[in-house]
Amino acid sequence: MTRSHSPAAGVALHELARMTADGRAALLRRPGQDLGPYVKKVRPIVEAVRDEGDAALIRFARAFDGADLTGADLMAGKAEFDAAFDRIDAAMIETLEYAADNIRRFHETQRPPEIRMTEIRPGVLVGERFTPVDDAAIYTPRGKGSFPSMTLMACIPAVVAGVRDLILLTPPGPDGRVDPATLVAARLAGVERVYKAGGAVAVAAAAFGTATVPRTGRFEGPGSPWVLAAKELLRERIFSRLPAGPSESIVLSDGSVDAETAARDLLIEAEHGPDSSAFLVTWLPDHADEILAILPRLLRELAPDRAAWVGVVLGGKAGGVVLAPSPEEAARFVNDHAPEHLQILSRAPFDHLGAIRNASEILLGPLTAGSIANYVMGPNAVLPTGGAARYHSPLGVADFMKSASLGQINAAGYSEMARHTRRFARYEGFDAHGQAVPEARIRIVAAGG
């Protein structure tokens, strides 16, 4: 059973102890998670980009973004980049520089050595060699606002990895220009090639290439269900590991931090849009009631459009306050949900961390607000959504690198390795395998032929 705390609050209170299995399952479903309807609508867009190239990009920019572009306008030129620095104030540029520095510092810790080898037996060296992928496309959405933070988060790990051919795709505004802070962020990240295409159009442009947009084999970045559907449709042409869809979060609160802080943290991801998911989970009824009583006042402090979005999220099955019967059941709900963002709102967060298995990002303690992590803390905020935290990790340097296994055997290790290899070959019936590793090989090689 699910009931609203009060008609005035407009925020759902979901009591796990009173819910059926179906009711609980409904809380775990994300809005827009069924991509079937989107795939049908995306298919003609993808086919048009494949068949028409730049002409389709220009047509869709007019239809979807209200922008009148020419072929020459599809790429942001040097003049547009330079003008972007004049269109935003110096304080915001300073903040972008601060965030870029933190994000770069974090991702540099992820970069592996070029070669890593270990002697696992005498004369047997094994390991890996790491190299960047040749090319990649990064996507920054714009539909519900501008997201220069996502440009930094997605571009910087690719630059740190050493990707040579790196491009950014993002929708133009009605004026035909890219959001200026996004261009500044791209340049700070180290990306100078920015193309004007949004949603499914951007995915298709990168997958097929056009006269203006180069084809790439990798596509990463957050996006709407339209982006996810296009990636699904084009999965044989372009690789994208991360299902980064609409925002979702859980605030796990043990009552040791004040209710107003908890309520404010609940609103962070809820204001991204009506397709977001945002829960506050606690096992303390009085704490839940206090939070519910505070939320209407906090909603009145938001801009009307954001308040409307938050109301949709928190008033339905994709958000609100979840009251669990115990700390163990609270952790179970978190693990079943596998949220994109998890904030353990506690003065002793490590007391709860051990119970958490599934979450893309885990923020610890009362000062580690989700908004700080979204923008400037350093770890990547492009995260798996829709429950994919059970199997996927955040975007990082490894997503833009590949490894090759290395092996080297010298005289001290050959005989033993060859003996066991011959046994495998005889059992599996591969004569050439066994004949390639005779005991005499070590002597023949030593003799030079």
> Using an 8 Å Cβ cutoff, are 232 and 200 in contact?
no
Distance between CA atoms of 376 and 360, rounded to whole angstroms? Answer: 17
Are 354 and 251 spatial neighbours (Cβ–Cβ below 8 Å)?
Answer: no
Contact in structure between 277 and 310 (CB atoms under 8 Å) = no
CA pair distance 151, 188, nearest whole angstrom: 10
Report d(CA 11, CA 26) in Å as an integer: 16
Q: How far apart are CA 330 and CA 288, in angstroms?
A: 13
CA distance 325 to 126: 51
Q: Distance (Å, rounded) from C-alpha 12 to C-alpha 170? A: 35
The residue with tokens 């209710």 is 259
Answer yes or no: are the C-beta atoms of 325 and 17 closer than 8 Å: yes
Q: Identify the residue whose tokens are 């030079």.
A: 448
Here the tokens at position 13 are: 């209170």
Name every residue whose Cβ is closer than 8 Å to that of residue 396 and which is 6 or more positions away in sequence: 107, 110, 157, 380
Whether 341 sits among the annotated catalytic residues: the reply is yes
Measured distance CA(441)–CA(298) in Å, rounded: 77
Q: From 309, 403, 449, 377, select the one nearest 100 (Cα to Cα).
A: 377
- Outline where 218-375 has alpha helix (H): 225-233, 259-270, 285-300, 304-314, 327-337, 350-353, 370-375
Contacts of 23 (CB under 8 A, 6+ apart): 1, 2
User: Which of 249, 275, 274 has the alpha carbon at shortest distance from 264?
Assistant: 249
E runs forming strands in 182-307? 194-196, 219-220, 248-253, 277-282
420 is catalytic: no
Catalytic residue among 272, 340, 361, 392: 340
> Which residue in 341, 352, 361, 392 is the catalytic one?
341
Question: Using an 8 Å Cβ cutoff, are 6 and 292 in contact?
Answer: yes
Tokens of 99: 């965030």
> 3-class SS at 353?
helix
Give the C-alpha separation, 31 to 279, whole Å. 14
Q: Check: CB of residue 265 under 8 Å from CB of residue 343.
A: yes
Rounded Cα distance, 110 and 95, in Å: 23
Any idea which residues carry the catalytic annotation?
A: 340-341
